Structure 1
């Protein structure tokens, strides 16, 4: 095949090594073997193709190092070997590819620093080193040619200041530096880029104030600077970015108010500025300024006043996060117009009034958090035929609700029943933004950076509920966490709780419960947290391999309880030994939860134990291996913010 100049091969997903005949095609200028299952190493014989201008080997299974002979292909204009399993360091001889315009090495296992001689490739237009283990500083001459349009080095271990030449790359259109440890004042590191449409500086250590001149980037569609040390106010000039779709500034040190000019950006889909020190009243226009708005996340700031009450019909708001502010007044009824709302997080404010009866008619609602407010009154029966059809997380704790538990709701939470753990292993959210939520386990607030569809929880604790726990609660056989503690519930513990076969946390403490602990609780083979303390329970504690693992604190202040693990023994006149679950039934229940356990934290840990483990790990540094195991290879985090969420929207 001496006259062959262009060759593109699809091997229909067969797993093969590099085809032997290709090095003999000496006239090839274009070689595309991408998106196959080629294995082994890239052969050094490829250097015989001296006329190659384009070499595309991406999305294969190549291993080992880049053969040094490849740098002899001096006519190469486009080199793409991304998404393989290649490793090693880049040599200085890379500068011999003086005609190179596109260099894609992303999603491999490369390490070491970027050769300083790379700056000699003055024609470089498109550079992508993302998702590797490169370290050190970017070489000072990286963009000396000023031709650079796309620079993507995200998710590596780069440190230090950015090269001065970056300010002069006026042709930049895409800049991704996220997921590293770059530092320095952003006002000194960046210039003005008229053609810029995507910039992501998230999860670094940049300081300084946001640049007003970025409001002049007329084509900018994505601006992400979350997870840094940025200070000062949000520039009003950002309101000029009329094509902006994504603005994430969360987890910084921003102060001041939200400029009303933000409401000029009618194209905005994501506005995430949580975990700052912003204050003032939330502008009313934020509830209706964009027909495209999907996420409005203002959590963990210092906003006060009322929730904006101008949510209009036809909006597509999916996530509204206002947790951790000082908002007052009732929940605005115009939220009933948000028919696509999946996450409503209003916890930790000063909101008041009764539970709005229209909430249960929101067809897509999956997460409802109203904890730690001033809500009061009874929760009456719903008038909706199928209330909360998709609700999987509900937290009404630390309010002043009274009356009986909302039985009709507890009977109809369909998203907590018969969940298929083999098919529902995805994460809540969409391609641009993945949801997060804070749950309480054993008194610890833990932020779930990504929420599995199979995760379900009910927390009605610290209210004034009375009456009995309805037996119908046993229908929720996919429930993971149940907390009814610190109420005035009476009667017996329903034996139907034994039907909650994947339950991992059960807290019924500080109530007025009576009678014996039902032996059916021995079926709960995934139970990792149990608290029945501060009640009036009597008799022998059921014995099982699971219940035997809990200590004294799980049962304390039940003066008539006896048996292990309590020091009080049961006499002959006490209640007889209660039946325990047969061994084969225990094994069957244990096996049924295998799949999702492996996904979350590894077999045998369980989600609740995994959450506690994750909390300890994240609070002490969050090592890279753990992040990649839990969040995926392309979802590296620098802080306990919702960065895990945003990786999906950027890849």
Structure 2
């Protein structure tokens, strides 16, 4: 048909593929063209520059490549240009200097390079500029304030260097500055900030800024978010910062601050909800002003040198406080009993805390993560925590917990680490009968899960921990919701390994090493189809390694050493890939991979091919048969049991969305 008089073409969010035809240039009356959220490929035809009446062009989130066509500069009436989320290369065309009506430019999430496009400084109507997530280099121009109508300036995740131009902060209309993840350096100089400044968001994280926080920030009465993390900023954190009336989020982590200035008290109406001060050089007691931040939801002061006890005055902020992370400090004394009430995540690991776990924890109905590892807590096993219906991570590692571990039904527990304590006794055969979350994991995003989050926590704060996995300590800087682990190692457990362990079909890591377990390895472990790491070394186990374990296709690490095991090692690829040390110091293991690769002295003094007279007790527990089905489990599509990722995705997405077609083109990092 004849579409020459078509004025608007919106193909937003379909599944179109292929290239844009050159005949697009024949739609000479088009004023608006949106091809966003499709799978278009190839280069943009230069004929698009013939659409002289076009005011809005949106090509966001496709697979376009090549250079941005120079002919776009012919469309002098263009006001909105969105090319973000593709694979464009090269530089911004110099012809863009002719787009005098342009107000919104988004070219982020491409592979563009070169210096900051100076031609943009001619476009004085620009209000939104996003060059983020490209390969731009060089310095920002000192006269950037010529963009006098600028509201959003996003250049994060590039390779810009040098000092940033202080003139940027003098633009009265500016709302959002995103300079994070570059190589900027020098001191923080904000110049002569206008008293009429509308600035709400400053993101300067992951650069090389140094020096103190400048006093000029105190003029930014509309400031809501400031991120100075991952720099080299020094000195005291000024107390006037807490008097800014609209400040909700402060991230000072990973700098070299030494203290919090205490001369000015926070405003009684403070709206600060997130305070991150981890990985600095803070010393002394936890500052008392924190107890006056009544809106505080997340407090992370981990990896510092704080000492003294946890302040009792923190009960003043318990109604809103959801996350408290004080790990890796030098805190002493006991855990306060009635200070916290609505915590979702409570981490005080690696301190010098003593005493018992406060029984008031039983009232923390929202608690999902409890980590008290590497302290001096002396208590019995907290079976009473099983009443917490949302508890998913429990870490008691490396304390002085002692005695037997009572039977408990941890319905939602996905990770438990009680290693390196003084627990004793035998575990009943049905001990793991009611550990539902490790038996049949809910899929993220289902009605049962009620969440679309992939990781523990939310966009503001990601839970993390250290766990033994595959024989080494790994830091989980983000914890997958589908990740499950059980570590009972380094205690004095005895008796047989409970056969109900086979119910935990979704378990990824099982570590029972360095105990006194005896008897046979239960064949029901062969039903733990998601298992990736198995360590039963340093026990008194006898009999054969169950042949069923040879069918565990994800089992990448195993250790059976230092036991009294005998007989044929299971076949299969996974067993064949294990080092000799995984089988050494047993009574008589043999098998093709051991015989070929391992010296006899390591794994067997007198290899015997005959089977043991006494087979493993084949008593069938009806409850195991019903729950496991004794068949292959449903293998998870996601096989990575842990994420070792030194980069945490930034939590903030642009709240100032102007309209639907821009909403995904201004995400910030």
TMscore range, shorter length: 0.7 to 0.9
Per the alignment, in what secondary structure is the counterpart of residue 62 of structure 1? strand
TM-score when scaled to structure 1?
Answer: 0.81
Residue 271 (structure 2) aligns with: none
Residue 396 (structure 2) aligns with: 370
CA distance 1:571–1:113, change in 2 (3 Å): same
Per the alignment, in what secondary structure is the counterpart of residue 423 of structure 2? strand
Map 1:190-339 to 2 at 5 A: 194-211=197-214, 214=217, 217-253=220-256, 254=280, 255-256=282-283, 258-286=286-314, 289=317, 291-311=319-339, 313=341, 315=342, 317-339=343-365
- Structure 1: gaps of 5 or more residues: 580-587, 601-606, 619-639
Instruction: Give the Å deviation of 1:28.
Output: 5.3
Map 1:132-143 to 2 at 5 A: 132-143=134-145
Please state if 1:498 is matched with 2:526: yes
Q: For 1:396, which of 418, 426, 429 is the aligned residue?
A: 418
Instruction: Give the Å deviation of 1:202.
Output: 2.6
Q: For 2:405, which of 368, 372, 379 is the aligned residue?
A: 379
Stretch of structure 1 that moved more, 33-42 or 396-405: 33-42
Residue 275 (structure 2) aligns with: none
Residue 637 (structure 2) aligns with: 595
Stretch of structure 1 that moved more, 55-64 or 455-464: 55-64
CA distance 1:378–1:44, change in 2 (3 Å): same
Instruction: Give the Å deviation of 1:93.
Output: 3.7
Please state if 1:522 is matched with 2:523: no
Number of residues of Structure 1 aligned to a counterpart in Structure 2:
600
- Counterparts of 2:103 and 2:555 in 1: how far apart (Å)? 57
Stretch of structure 1 that moved more, 274-283 or 60-69: 274-283
Alignment check: 8 A CA contact 2:138 2:161 kept: yes
Could you give the per-residue CA deviations for residues 558-579 of structure 1, whole angstroms, max 9, x where no partner exists?
Answer: 2444552451475568547999
Could you give the per-residue CA deviations for residues 158-212 of structure 1, whole angstroms, max 9, x where no partner exists?
Answer: 3332223234335432122223333333356896884332232233333333446
- Counterparts of 2:177 and 2:151 in 1: how far apart (Å)? 8
- Counterparts of 2:463 and 2:352 in 1: how far apart (Å)? 22
- Counterparts of 2:384 and 2:532 in 1: how far apart (Å)? 31
- Counterparts of 1:310 and 1:460 in 2: how far apart (Å)? 30
Per the alignment, in what secondary structure is the counterpart of residue 491 of structure 1? strand
Instruction: Give the Å deviation of 1:343.
Output: 1.9
- Counterparts of 1:259 and 1:182 in 2: how far apart (Å)? 31
- Counterparts of 2:388 and 2:200 in 1: how far apart (Å)? 36
CA distance 1:15–1:147, change in 2 (3 Å): same
Stretch of structure 1 that moved more, 110-119 or 414-423: 414-423
Please state if 1:537 is matched with 2:565: yes
CA distance 1:95–1:389, change in 2 (3 Å): same
Alignment check: 8 A CA contact 1:450 1:645 kept: no
Stretch of structure 1 that moved more, 476-485 or 212-221: 212-221
Please state if 1:415 is matched with 2:443: no
Residue 13 (structure 1) aligns with: 14
- Counterparts of 1:431 and 1:232 in 2: how far apart (Å)? 29
Q: For 1:463, which of 484, 491, 494 is the aligned residue?
A: 491
- Counterparts of 1:43 and 1:512 in 2: how far apart (Å)? 73
Residue 167 (structure 2) aligns with: 165
Alignment check: 8 A CA contact 2:328 2:348 kept: yes
Could you give the per-residue CA deviations for residues 17-54 of structure 1, whole angstroms, max 9, x where no partner exists?
Answer: 54777645656555545445554433323333444444
- Counterparts of 1:304 and 1:195 in 2: how far apart (Å)? 44
- Counterparts of 1:196 and 1:278 in 2: how far apart (Å)? 33
Alignment check: 8 A CA contact 2:550 2:571 kept: yes
Aligned residues: CA RMSD = 3.7
Could you give the per-residue CA deviations for residues 480-500 of structure 1, whole angstroms, max 9, x where no partner exists?
Answer: 111111122222222222222
- Counterparts of 1:244 and 1:578 in 2: how far apart (Å)? 71
Please state if 1:47 is matched with 2:75: no
Instruction: Give the Å deviation of 1:470.
Output: 0.9
Per the alignment, in what secondary structure is the counterpart of residue 381 of structure 2? coil
CA distance 1:9–1:433, change in 2 (3 Å): same
Instruction: Give the Å deviation of 1:596.
Output: 1.6
Please state if 1:353 is matched with 2:379: yes
CA distance 1:461–1:214, change in 2 (3 Å): farther
Could you give the per-residue CA deviations for residues 93-126 of structure 1, whole angstroms, max 9, x where no partner exists?
Answer: 4333344332111222322322234333334322
Alignment check: 8 A CA contact 2:374 2:398 kept: yes
Please state if 1:340 is matched with 2:370: no
Alignment check: 8 A CA contact 2:430 2:500 kept: no
- Structure 2: gaps of 5 or more residues: 257-279, 447-452, 616-629, 655-666
Instruction: Give the Å deviation of 1:130.
Output: 1.9
Per the alignment, in what secondary structure is the counterpart of residue 515 of structure 2? coil
CA distance 1:495–1:329, change in 2 (3 Å): same
- Counterparts of 1:190 and 1:406 in 2: how far apart (Å)? 71
Per the alignment, in what secondary structure is the counterpart of residue 46 of structure 1? helix
Residue 276 (structure 2) aligns with: none
Residue 627 (structure 1) aligns with: none
- Counterparts of 2:611 and 2:97 in 1: how far apart (Å)? 83
Residue 473 (structure 1) aligns with: 501
Q: For 2:76, which of 74, 77, 80 is the aligned residue?
A: 74
CA distance 1:69–1:577, change in 2 (3 Å): farther
Alignment check: 8 A CA contact 2:113 2:135 kept: yes
- Counterparts of 2:175 and 2:94 in 1: how far apart (Å)? 27
CA distance 1:231–1:261, change in 2 (3 Å): same
Map 1:109-124 to 2 at 5 A: 109-124=111-126
Alignment check: 8 A CA contact 2:22 2:45 kept: no
Q: For 2:146, which of 126, 144, 147 is the aligned residue?
A: 144
Per the alignment, in what secondary structure is the counterpart of residue 415 of structure 1? helix
Alignment check: 8 A CA contact 2:529 2:635 kept: no
Per the alignment, in what secondary structure is the counterpart of residue 45 of structure 1? helix
User: Relative to total residues, which structure has the larger helix share, 1 or 2?
Assistant: 1
Alignment check: 8 A CA contact 2:72 2:95 kept: no
Per the alignment, in what secondary structure is the counterpart of residue 238 of structure 1? helix
Per the alignment, in what secondary structure is the counterpart of residue 247 of structure 1? strand
- Counterparts of 1:299 and 1:192 in 2: how far apart (Å)? 40
Alignment check: 8 A CA contact 1:265 1:290 kept: no
- Counterparts of 1:168 and 1:312 in 2: how far apart (Å)? 43
- Counterparts of 2:305 and 2:544 in 1: how far apart (Å)? 50
Stretch of structure 1 that moved more, 442-451 or 237-246: 237-246
Alignment check: 8 A CA contact 2:527 2:631 kept: no
TM-score when scaled to structure 2?
Answer: 0.79
- Counterparts of 1:552 and 1:507 in 2: how far apart (Å)? 14
